[in-house]
Structure 1
Amino acid sequence: MSFTQSNGGVWGQKWRSSPLFIVSAMAMALFTDTFLYAFLVPILPYVLENRLGLDVSLTQSLSFSLLSESAITALIASPIIGHFADRVPNKKGLLLGSLGAALLGSIVLALATSAFTLFAGRLIQAIGSSCIWTVGYATIASNVHPEHLGKTYGVISLVVAAGTSGGPMVAGILFELGGYWTAWSSAFTILIADIIVRLLMLENPKSKESTTAYGDDDALDPENAPLLSEAGSVLEPEVTGWKFYIYILRQRRFVCGVISYFSFAVLISSFDTTLPLHVRDVFNWGSLPAGMMFFALQGPGILLSPLCGWLKDRVGTRWPTTVGFLLLAPIMWIIGMPGDDRFPWINEGNRGIIIYAIGVTLVGSVSCLLNGAGTIEATITIDEVEEKHPGIFGPNGGYSRALSMVSMSWTSGAFIGPVLSGYLAEHVGYYEMNCVIAVICALSGVNAFFNLTTTKLHQNRGSECS
């Protein structure tokens, strides 16, 4: 969508290519992606048991198999997408392709009347999701000034939380009030809005992606690029292929960020397959209250994520991430008690319901401290390495490849989370499952304390803008 004016310019080029609009467009894309991913959760039992006609005993196993499919697909697709995304200066084509995949996958899912079409639709959706998470976050990193990095990722986390909580909440409410196709109408409405925004976006030719971190506008032109950076460092040979991943995995804070993001994903995704069935079996709740519990899990991020982003700009990522994980450990332990006969005092009257609801809300609130743990560390690591070794990641930088690894860590956790929690809840017990997640949180807190830094984010990148 590029309307040419009589003077030869493109209609609205200034605001359509502004960093604010580009970041807003990526936020909309990430909202749509997370909305579509979580949308199916509360209506999945109906789809499996009524539309597909499967036995009720298969609901648990097929639920976490379907929800984990996206993670497996992304684990394979993300590094491939990241490799090619860093090879092209203009990423709009990849972004539009991801939108097309999301639309096609949603249509197939909505029309599915067999297990094959259901899994096929989810597969198509997952490919588009991998693209938007890798390319979208790289586009954001290329358009954000250093002093706003934490706040921006905080707002993006807010949008992602809104999509993650809004998906199941809207699906559950509309399904309860109007039925299956009324619920799906909300998903297609959001997709249409995303199509409009994505077509309006024009990539900014003056973004960081098309200039160097040292203010040299000619650095991307091999004929005009200087042999020395402003700091007097010789431009180094580009690290390509598998050597890039080996090099980046030698960076301690990057690895810690990836592990933290993995643990965060395990924590959050563990609710996807266990929460709806647990509240149904223990509290006799249906789709509507289950959807409200997902809102309690993700909703606090709407208010707290920007504040946590501001905090990370001020004090770095070490303390927020450490405190977040260590607080989540006892909360997850307590959440496992309601409905367990070994804790009769907690199940008297409505006490178990109250404790469970408060516990889930606290998880949503405290986990805001973990938002952006992987993406911030990846962005800062790439900037630090490129500052010390100009040109090492090529003319288009290494954001997409680094962030593809962050995406892989998240999706690995999103795969292991439902599988681990579903298996433990079904074969061992819901309480034991929560104890395992609590241990993971405690260990992740220790890891963050020893391997992340307390340096302010704008200090890490401040030399780039000087």
Structure 2
Amino acid sequence: MEKTIITEKTTVISAKSKHRPPVLLRYRSSTRFIISVVALACFVDVFLYGLAVPVLPFALHKRVNIATDHVQYWISVLLGIYGAGVVVGSPIAGWLADQLPSRRVPLLVGLITLLGTTLLLCLSRTIHLFVLGRILQGLTAAIVWTVGLALLSDTVGQDRVGKAMGYVSMALPLASLCAPVLGGLLFDHRGYYAVFAIAFATIGLDILFRLVMIEKSAAAEWSDVQADALEVTPRAVEEQSRPVSSMMDEHLSTGKVRTESPRPVGIEKGDASKPLRRIPPVLLLLKSPRLLAALWGTMMEQTLTTAFDAVLPLFVKETFGWDATKAGLIFLPYMCPFILLSPVVGSLSDKWGSRALAAAGFISGCPFLICLRFVTHSSSTQIAILCILLLLNGISGALTLPSLMAEVSRVVETKEAEDPRFVSKSGAYAQAYGLFVSFQGLGCTIGPLIAGALRQGCGWETMATVLGILCGVSAIPVLLFTD
């Protein structure tokens, strides 16, 4: 009997369990650490994007010799083409990630590419190289975001995905806040290359964390961490949804390991011989009004955020006479609510759903954006009004982004339960988040271009009014279709 137990146990455990497991395997594959790695990856990507925001108005003129009256145009272009790179790269990254057995490899590939594009931007002295560098930076962002969010959904269950996305959402405004401030300070006091020194340092930290991380599907191959690896039902482990004890009982009683694939939801045993038409999951996702509403809300939230990136530094420079340091600090009141409220909003979305929170964010943001039109000249009162309005807009934005991020994962969960065509070995989380990141990139493209064109062609007041109307209208599909 003892011999049988040993034999059956070795059939369940991978051959890797014969070797000593990696150092600190339990911690390196823990849910908290994986969430931290994904949050750091997204932080670094947004941090590198934000470093350029307060620097571009000054660097384009001094380094690339762009005429002063063309600076706003090129700022909008450089921020917009970053989003275009994200739009193009995200669906491709999502599809490839769902075909690969590990999320770690594409994350590392994205990191190496990010290092190269940052070096290109550091050495650029022509506008053409700046444009190329920003496009490549957008493509690498697509890999980081798509694969990272898919890894997060693999790691946590549906009941906790909102909270996990809340922590990732908190990393984004933290990067958006730190990057402009540090970028402005370093540019003013240490020069252009000092800005990229901090960029390479953050990439180095990201490299370290990604190499240390071990996915739960890989950690489960060592017997001493198998139970821990299954504690949050990672989707990469085939037997994840069944208790470990029941699996071992079946193995011991039958003398063999179950090898057949699980039957898709909705298919009876007698129908197993009938071929099931396989439709690419991404096409089924695009047929979901619920997902499309979440993607629309994501695009509009990103449009509003990146609109500020394009016009706010130049606006305070021209209106208040501020330097790059102060232009970076103006983002503080806007980003603080994202940092403080995102985990709370994510947890609330797990309990209440996404509809009420996201819709409340868009509806409340409408008047706050329109009121920006009243900031027109330089005075202490006007500066205070601008800061208060940015704070209120930040609170509105913090209600939308974490809840919509979690909604994407819930749509995939629902599709897998309801539609047998959606069940596949590779899953569809990376493809779903590929769409999510693609719509984020679309917002990154639209926001700077619309805001820059409106401010330059029609003025600050008209720009604020149009953005406010767009924000209010965005609540309609969210109210009608999200859950």
TM over 0.5: yes
Structure 1 counterpart of 2:133, from 121, 141, 165: 121
Structure 2 segments unaligned to the other structure (5+ residues):
1-15, 221-233, 248-256
Distance in 2, Cα, partners of 1:248 & 1:215: 27
The aligned counterpart of 1:395 is 425
The aligned counterpart of 1:359 is 389
Q: SS of 2:236's equivalent? A: helix
Q: SS of 2:242's equivalent? A: coil
The aligned counterpart of 2:205 is 193
The aligned counterpart of 2:261 is 225
The aligned counterpart of 2:235 is 208
Deviation at 1:360, TM superposition (A): 0.9
Distance in 1, Cα, partners of 2:282 & 2:39: 27
Q: SS of 2:99's equivalent? A: coil
Structure 1 counterpart of 2:454, from 424, 433, 438: 424
Q: 1:299 to 1:11 in 2, by over 3 A?
A: same
Q: SS of 1:278's equivalent? A: helix
Name the % identity.
26
Q: CA RMSD in A?
A: 2.4
* Matched AA of 2:65: G
The aligned counterpart of 1:301 is 338
Residue by residue over 1:163-222, the C-alpha shift from the partner in whole angstroms, topping out at 9 and shown as x without a partner, is 12211111012222322222222111111110100111112115223336743999xx99
Distance in 2, Cα, partners of 1:238 & 1:375: 30
The aligned counterpart of 2:23 is 11
The aligned counterpart of 1:85 is 97
Q: 1:426 to 1:22 in 2, by over 3 A?
A: same
Number of paired residues?
439
5 Å-filtered alignment, 1:49-88, equals 49-88=61-100
Structure 1 counterpart of 2:143, from 119, 131, 144: 131
* Matched AA of 1:273: A
Structure 1 segments unaligned to the other structure (5+ residues):
340-346, 454-466
* The structure with more radius of gyration: 2
Q: SS of 2:303's equivalent? A: helix
* Matched AA of 1:293: I
Distance in 1, Cα, partners of 2:162 & 2:296: 19
Query: Is the deviation greater in 274-283 or in 8-17?
Result: 8-17
Distance in 1, Cα, partners of 2:432 & 2:199: 30
Q: SS of 1:210's equivalent? A: coil
* Matched AA of 2:384: I
Whether contact under 8 Å (2:266, 2:418) holds in the other structure is no
5 Å-filtered alignment, 1:322-401, equals 322-339=359-376, 349-390=379-420, 392-401=422-431
Q: SS of 1:371's equivalent? A: helix
Q: 1:216 to 1:227 in 2, by over 3 A?
A: farther
Residue by residue over 1:78-132, the C-alpha shift from the partner in whole angstroms, topping out at 9 and shown as x without a partner, is 1111111111121211000000011111111111111222222222222211101
* Matched AA of 2:79: L
Distance in 2, Cα, partners of 1:146 & 1:365: 25
The aligned counterpart of 1:267 is 304
Structure 1 counterpart of 2:352, from 315, 335, 338: 315
Structure 2 counterpart of 1:292, from 314, 323, 329: 329
The aligned counterpart of 1:462 is none
The aligned counterpart of 1:23 is 35
Deviation at 1:7, TM superposition (A): 5.0
Does the alignment pair 1:255 with 2:292?
yes
Distance in 2, Cα, partners of 1:212 & 1:245: 25
Residue by residue over 1:388-441, the C-alpha shift from the partner in whole angstroms, topping out at 9 and shown as x without a partner, is 234624102100111111111111111011000100000011111111111111
Q: 1:39 to 1:222 in 2, by over 3 A?
A: farther
The aligned counterpart of 1:460 is none
Whether contact under 8 Å (1:176, 1:288) holds in the other structure is yes
Q: 1:210 to 1:420 in 2, by over 3 A?
A: same
Q: How does the TM-score come out when normalised to structure 1? A: 0.88
